Amino acid sequence: MAGKLYGVGVGPGDPELLTLKALRVIGESDVIAVPGRRPRETVAYRIAAEACKDMGQKELLGIHMPMTKDEDELEKSHEEGIKLLREQLDQGKSVAFLTLGDPTVYSTYIYLHHRAAELGYETEIVSGVPSFCAAAARLNTEIAKKAEQIHIVPASYQVQEALELPGTKILMKAGKQLSKVKKALSAGQDTVVMVENCGMESERVYEGIGQIPDEAGYYTLLFVKGEGGAR
């Protein structure tokens, strides 16, 4: 009988934000998979290892998931990834694939999840705390209230269009896009706060467009609050 594949969200960085279910699934799984060639060096592994003390005894599986928009390269990596997972699942082993934040929000894991399900394997997603929820809590404020809208957008795509929307805009993975984002923001009267590496030792908070650097780490998000409108 084939094993089961779990996509486990480990939260944004603080090990105390791992859910009880995530800890249980990690503890019960035969294999721990992470996106990266060196599993023990990945952020997701280090977060889980700090909370789950028997991680060092687990069989580890590193799966290369390149950060690229090249569809051919992505397709190749997904094929290689599902092959590695199938080798474990076909031996009857349960696999917990660790991913930062929540597996359902801009996660590289989800592509492998769908492929495994289409091939007939049993799959399950274990929710994690999304980075934007943890960042709002870190700022001691709400994301939205009353009838305010919330818009979540990857910063490498439709930033200009997103900023024209009303309510709270959350720009994800904004680190290398900050120059472009700052230029777009300079035309408006929005309130802007940036959180880098939320929940990690290297966490940084920047309030106001004037404080935001031109470049930051990959795990960077911005909250933009304003009425929107054309710029």
Q: What is the DSSP letter of 36?
A: S
Residue 177 has a pLDDT of 85
Confidence grade of residue 231 (pLDDT, cut at 50, 70, 90):
very low
62-66, 80-84, 152-156, 227-231: range with highest mean pLDDT? 80-84
Q: Same domain for 63 and 40?
A: yes
Question: Do 9 and 120 lie in a common domain?
Answer: yes
Q: Give the end of a domain, one of 105, 126, 147.
A: 126
d(CA 30, CA 14): 24
* pLDDT of the residue at 226: 77
User: Is residue 201, in this structure, part of any structural domain at all?
Assistant: yes
Give the chain's mean pLDDT: 92
What pLDDT, on a 0 to 100 scale, did the predictor assign at position 167? 93
- List the structure tokens of 56: 């060092």
pTM: 0.92
Phi, psi of 13 (to 5 degrees): 170, -30
Q: How many CB atoms lie within 10 A of CB 103?
A: 24
* Surface-to-core class of residue 137, CB atoms within 10 Å of its CB (0-12 exposed, 13-18 middle, 19+ buried): middle
- Domain shared by 103 and 151, yes or no: no
> Does residue 160 carry a pLDDT above 70?
yes
| Residues 89 and 149 both lie in one domain | no
Domain membership of residue 211 (yes or no) is: yes
Secondary structure letter of residue 11 according to DSSP: B
Q: Quick check: is 112 in a domain?
A: yes
Q: Is residue 231 part of a domain?
A: no
Contacts of the segment 65-69: beta carbons below 8 A, 24+ positions apart: 65/35, 65/36, 65/108, 67/218, 69/156
Q: Using CA atoms, how far apart are residues 230 and 167, in angstroms rounded to an integer?
A: 14
Range in 125-139, 146-160, 186-200 with the lowest mean pLDDT = 186-200
Residue 170 lies in a domain: yes
The answer on 164 and 79 residing in a single domain is no
Same domain, 171 and 62: no
Q: What is the DSSP letter of 198?
A: T
Total structural domains within the chain: 2
Query: What per-residue confidence (pLDDT) applies to 189?
Result: 63
**Structure token pair of residue 192:** 């802007």
Q: Which two tokens stand for residue 43?
A: 């952020």
Domain boundary among 68, 103, 126: 126
One domain for residues 112 and 164: no
How deeply is 199 buried, as exposed, middle or buried, from its count of CB atoms within 10 A (0-12, 13-18, 19+)?
Answer: buried
Same domain, 23 and 110: yes
Same domain (yes/no): 87, 158: no
Question: Closest by alpha carbon to 112, among 90, 96, 91?
Answer: 96
Among candidate residues 126, 160, 191, the one where a domain is terminated: 126
**Model pLDDT for residues 167-220, shown as the tens digit of each residue:** 999 999 888 889 888 888 876 667 899 999 999 999 999 999 889 999 899 899
Which of 118, 55, 107, 38 lies closest to 82, judged by CA?
118
The β-bridge relationship of strands 220-226 and 167-172 is antiparallel
Instruction: Please check whether residues 163 and 222 belong to one and the same domain.
Output: yes
- Closest to 9 in 3D by CA, of 134, 97, 135: 97
Q: Which residues pair with 150 in a beta bridge?
A: 168
pLDDT in tens, 13-70: 999 999 999 999 999 999 999 998 898 999 999 999 999 988 888 999 999 987 777 7
Domain identity same for 94 and 138: no
In this structure, what CATH number is given to the domain that contains residue 154? 3.30.950.10
Q: What's the domain range around 152?
A: 131-226
pLDDT the model gives residue 68: 77
- Residue 20 shares a structural domain with residue 105: yes
* Closest alpha carbon to 52 in 19, 25, 27: 27
Domain CATH for 86: 3.40.1010.10
104 or 182, greater pLDDT:
104
